[in-house]
Structure 1
Amino acid sequence: MDTSTIIYIIVSIAVGLAVGYIVRQTLASKQATSVEQKIKEKLDEANAKSKELILEAQDKSARILEDIKRDEKERKLQLDKLEERILSKEENLDKQAAELRGKEKSVQGDLAKLTEAKTHIGELKEKIQQELQKVAGLSEEDAKKALLVDVEKKFSQDLVAYGKKMMQERREEIEKKTAEIMTTVMQRYSRSSAAEFTTSSVPLPDEDFKGKIIGKEGRNIRALERLTGVELIVDETPDSIVISSFDPVRREIARVALERLIKDGRIQPAKIEEKVEEAKSEVAKMMNEAAEAATYEVGILDFPKEIMQILGRLAFRTSYGQNVLRHSVEVAHFAGMIAAELGLNVDVAKRGALVHDIGKAIDHEVEGSHVELGRKILKKYNIDERVIQAMEAHHDEYPYAIPEAYVVASADALSAARPGARRDTIENYLKRLQELENIATQFEGVKQAYAISAGRELRIFVTPERIDDFGSLQMARDIANKIEAELRYPGEIKVVVIREMRAVEYAK
């Protein structure tokens, strides 16, 4: 390529560049002019809209201001009316206050007059009393006493009759309701009579077993008596041996052990010791089963295990020939039914009744009454305080803290007094009758006293010249209170005082 060609190319490029620059500048100038025009148009449009908005806002603010002024005017009218009403009420109150002050002054004046009149009347009364005392020759107290004596003489028969009528009606009402509840309870629950003794008889297959039980030089019978704590009586009674003990648990252990030895046939000291241990385990199991059956029967299933173990021992305890556990179950049933009739807490009554004699399960080596021992046992194992209160009063050693305590005591007496529930010796029976008659004859004016109806009624004849009708009523209450304080007895004793007046005259 030559130089002219190169120059030509360079010149052409330069010319192209110059032309391109000029065109670009021209286009840029045109675009700038177009943008400025658009901006100006937008500004004009914005100014027009702002003017419209300002005018609209001014109109709206004017309307709001008018509304505010109108509301303010209405509120002012309401306040004016309220102010008028308040002023009117104040005027009325002022008038009423003035009237009350006037009335108060009038009342004070009347009160002063009444006080003056009362003082004057008191002075007149005192003067009259003094005059009466001078005329009658009696003081005020003496006159009162004389008047009371005169009234008592005139109306004594009426008072006696009225008192008897009230007492009879009330007693009949209470006895009717009580008999109704007790009869219902006893009809709904009944048990067989008691027949517990202090001996048990074990049958023997033949007479040869008596020699085996006695053993060489009596070693077998001595071992059995030593291990069980009972007395074995081997006499002429055919095919039987008698176990004697006042502890039913020991007697039952000896009976079970002896039956096992007879069944095994090998009777020797080592075998006796083995069978006695087996018998103890079996009797313990029997006691647990008895406690579970008793609680299940009365519907109580949440006693602690320790209480159940102690309760089971009552199955082998007796009181006046009555099995203590069966007695406790019976009392629980009675208490539950009585509590239900009276609208009391049935659960508390049944629990308190079931454990009311639990202290009898403790051996005699531990000091204290069975009530006190029972309280300690129940407190130790965190039994509900209401249950303890329900059981602790059934022998009147503690106060009746809750209504259920009366229910438990009544149910206990009902179970004990039920015909056939308990056995008693003829000596104790006659002694109790004699004590009843002796209590009655200690009172002045008693001619004769008879305990009848198996000791359930005490009939007393008094001398009519020494005891009047009032005295008869008082004597019946005093004798009943003395019996309650000095004697222990099941159920209740009816005290009847009879005052008979006979007038005899002969026609000649």
Structure 2
Amino acid sequence: MGEVATVLVLLLACLVALVLVLLARREAEAHRRQALEDVTAQKDEARARLDELNARADRLARREQEVVEERHELRRLTETAERRIAEAETERETAAKLRAEAEARRAEAEQIRGSADLVVTERLEALSGLSAEEARHEQVRLALARAESEAAAQVRRVEARARRTADDRARGVVAAAVQRLAGPTSSQSVVTVLPLPAEEMKGRIIGKEGRNIRAFEALTGVNVIVDDTPDSVTLSSFDAERREVAAVTLAALMEDGRIHPQRIEIAYADALAGAQARAVAAGHEAAERAGVERLHPELVEVLGRLRLRTSYGQNVLAHLVECAHIAGAMAAEIGADVETARRAAFLHDVGKALTADRPGTHAALGAELARRLGESDVVVNAIAAHHDEVPLESVEAVLVQAADTCSAARPGARREELDQYIERMDTLEALVAAHEGVRRAVAMAAGREVRVVVEPSVVDDRALPEMASAIARHIEKDLSFPGEITVTVVRELRASATAG
């Protein structure tokens, strides 16, 4: 058992590790996007630098324009000087000398500037082996390559760190989630014990010569044990629905105080009629304990029906509440959506209430019901995929699968022999009910007795012994069972008339 638990824990750790790797990849993708944004920013910076160079070139062009304008101004002054020369011969020689000096200085400045620009450009091109335009493009390319390399290195570091810590963190998540849930085991037995308001109530339940207890057992199909424990009565049946209806019926009879066959029939009919209301109340109570809100009324009613359903002895509704708590705890530990994980875990076995009426697996039926009633795609996928019938599409679906395994695998959660016992009882009843004239067959006393109610119009009193023997031989031939099984055939003919 310890080795199996260890293997299950390791499997759970692997599942959670997978979740962590998925989250790490998501984080890596975020880093990659950030790196791309950095590259874009560097592109924008390079573009801004290029715009700055273009602006500087524009300023140089404006300066050249100003020099041209200065030339025009100089020409105007020259013309003015020539006019003045025409007016005064003496001023002409001075103006000519000034003009010659200005022309010489201008030519010298232009020559110096052209030589300096040529020398700088030639030196830069000689050092880089590129032209000025090619150098600008090469600078941008190098900046992009450097940014991409840094982004790739960052992604590799994040993935390596996630792989190193995934296993340890997965074990910690599972351990924390399971330790936080200190719930009792949810295995059920096949008996229900009801306290008696007074010791004298036992006599009323038994009735005169045992008629009340016989009528109660024949009607409900449940064994009533009144002698084993003081101040209480025990109801025994492998069928949880029969046992629950019988418990409600007996509680109503004890509260009323009037116990006779007619009153038993009325209380039994009322208990059957209130089954749906009890299911709705149980569904609301379970949803409140699981912390799940805004459920469709039909989902609440279907969930409430699971209060009487067991899986290997584990109550299914209690199992769903337990799974919701475990999934929510694990989601909080790893940063997933807590509400979605809790909701999906609470609904993952809802299809078990539908398998008796419809073909298909409980995972497929539950997913179909959730989709029809407006649950999200993540919840629907988690329900459909919790037994790997379809691929898992979200982190929350993996958490639901892990929580389901945690709840089912913990010590004391399930008993396999109970399902085998129920299957044997169902087989016994079906085998007896196949005989002609049988209206109802009820297995009682843990399968050691079967009571057969026949149709009085088909089977007469003389045929009862022969029919009991035939049923006993059929059981011996086709059914394997420990000990002995007593077959009791009951034929009851009722007649009523109204006087008035």
With structure 2 as the length reference, what TM-score do the two structures score? 0.47
Query: Which one has more relative contact order, counting CA pairs under 8 Å at least 6 apart?
Result: 2
Pair member with larger Rg: 1
With structure 1 as the length reference, what TM-score do the two structures score? 0.46
